[in-house]
Structure 1
C-alpha cells in the first residue's frame, strides 16, 4: 500500500472549467464586435483628443463677467434640490413603510413596490422632458422630476432597511398593547433612523447634481444657462458655469459629511 501512488487518486482542485472559458470567449468576441459595429478606432479617439484640446483652449480663462446670471441660476438649482429633497424624503418615508413586506400585507406592499419601481424606471432627464411638456418650462418641472427620482431611490432602500430589522423589538412593543403608530415610532424607526439619514443625505447630494442636469431640457437651474452658453459657442462662460457646478457639488459633499458625523 505504501508503494501505491496516491496522487493519481487525488482530484485536481484547479481543473479547467470549459464552460466559464466559453463564456469569457463569447464576451471578448462580443466586445470586439461592438467596437467594429460602432466604428470605434484609435484614429477617431486621437481626433477627438485634438478637438478636446481646442475646446479647452477656448474655455480658458473662464468668464465670470455675467456673475448675476450665474448667481440666479445657482440659487434656482439650490432651491430645486432642497425643495425636491424635502418633499421626496417625506413621501418616501411613508412609501418605504408601506412597501416593507414584514410590516404590511402583500395587498398593500406589492402595489406600493410597483409605484416605487415605476419611479425608478426612467432616467431623470426623460422624466424632466415629460414634466416640461406637462407643466411648462421652469423650476416646477425640475422639482417634480427630482421628487420622483428621490422616491425611486429612498423609498426602495428604506423599505429594504425596514425588512432587515429585528422583529423582537416590534413584538416587545406590541405586547404592551401599543398601537401601530407607537410600534413604528419606538421599535422600527430607532433601528433604521441612522440609515435613513444616510440615504437622505446621499439623495440631497444627488439632487444637487441632477438639478443642474435637468435644466438642459428646460427644467430650471444652471443647466438651462449651460445649454444656452453651448448653443452660443460661448465657451469661456461655459467654463465659468462648470466651475460653479463643481463648487455646488463640493458644497453638497461637505454638507453630507457634516450630517453623517452628527447622526453617526
Structure 2
C-alpha cells in the first residue's frame, strides 16, 4: 500500500544498549591490560604447551592396577554420595516448598539449601579433609552437600509448580499428610526428580575426581601426585581413565532415563 514503508529496520536504535556495550568492551580491554594478558605471554604459553603435550604421549598404563583401584573408588564415592544426597534432598526439598510448608519450616530449609550451594565442592572438600582426614569419607560428605544444594533446590521449585487441585482432592478424602505427598505431590514431580537425580549422578562422577586433588579420595589424588612428579605420560593415562568414568556415567544416566521414562 502507498505511503507504508515496507523496509523499516526491525531493530530500533537503542543508545542506552550501545553505551552499555561500549562500557563493557572498554572494561574488558582495561581488565586485560591490568592482568598482564598479552599476545607475547600467549605465544610463550603455546610453546610450553607443545613441549608438555610431547611429554604426555604416548600414555603410560603400566600402573593399571592403581588406576583401576582409584577408578573404582571414585565410582563408589559418586554413587554413595548421590544415593545419600538424593534421599536427603527429598525431605529438604519438600520442607523448602512454600506451597506445602509454613514459613517457619520452609525458610530454614531454604537457608540450608543456600548454604550448601554457597561454596565450591573443592572448598567443602578441604573443610571435610581437615575434619575427618584424607580419604573417601571426605569425598562422600563433600558430594552429599553438593547434591543437596542442587537437587533440593530444583525439587522444591518443582513442588511449588504443581497443580494444587490434586492436593485438594486428596485432602478432601481425609487423607493424612503422608498420603497427600505420596498420591498428590510425588506423581506430579517424579519424572523431573529422576532427571535431576541422573544429572547429579553424572555431576558427582566428575566432581569425585576433582575433590581428590585436595585429598578426598579417588583419581584426583593420583592425578595431583603424577603432576608433582612430572610423570606426564601417566597423567595422560589418568585423564583417559577419567574420560572413561564420565562416559560410564553418561551411559548409566541414559539407562535410568529409559527405565523410568
Structure 1: any 5+ residue segments left out of the alignment?
none
How far did residue 153 of structure 1 move?
A: 0.2
How far did residue 115 of structure 1 move?
A: 0.5
Question: How far apart, CA to CA, are the structure 2 residues paired with 1:234 and 1:158?
Answer: 44
Question: How far apart, CA to CA, are the structure 1 residues paired with 2:154 and 2:63?
Answer: 41
Equivalent of residue 179 in structure 1, options 176, 195, 213: 176
After superposition, the C-alpha distances for 1:78-130 in whole angstroms (9 at most, x for unaligned) are 11101100000000000000000000011110110011000000000000000
Does residue 71 of the first structure (1) align with residue 73 of the second (2)?
no
After superposition, the C-alpha distances for 1:205-241 in whole angstroms (9 at most, x for unaligned) are 0000000000000000000000000000001110100
Question: How far apart, CA to CA, are the structure 2 residues paired with 1:207 and 1:216?
Answer: 15
TM-score by length of 1: 0.95
Cα 1:216–1:13 shift into 2, 3 Å: closer
TM-score by length of 2: 0.96
How far did residue 12 of structure 1 move?
A: 8.3
Cα 1:14–1:67 shift into 2, 3 Å: closer
Partner of 2:156: 159
Does residue 42 of the first structure (1) align with residue 18 of the second (2)?
no
Question: How far apart, CA to CA, are the structure 2 residues paired with 1:100 and 1:154?
Answer: 13
- Higher Rg of the two aligned structures: 1
Cα 1:15–1:206 shift into 2, 3 Å: closer
How far did residue 15 of structure 1 move?
A: 4.0
Question: How far apart, CA to CA, are the structure 2 residues paired with 1:98 and 1:167?
Answer: 17
**Paired positions, count:** 258
Give 4+ residue runs of structure 1 displaced > 6 Å after superposition: 5-8
Does residue 211 of the first structure (1) align with residue 208 of the second (2)?
yes
Q: How does 1:1-264 map to 2 (within 5 A)?
A: 14-264=11-261
Structure 2: any 5+ residue segments left out of the alignment?
none
Question: How far apart, CA to CA, are the structure 2 residues paired with 1:12 and 1:232?
Answer: 62
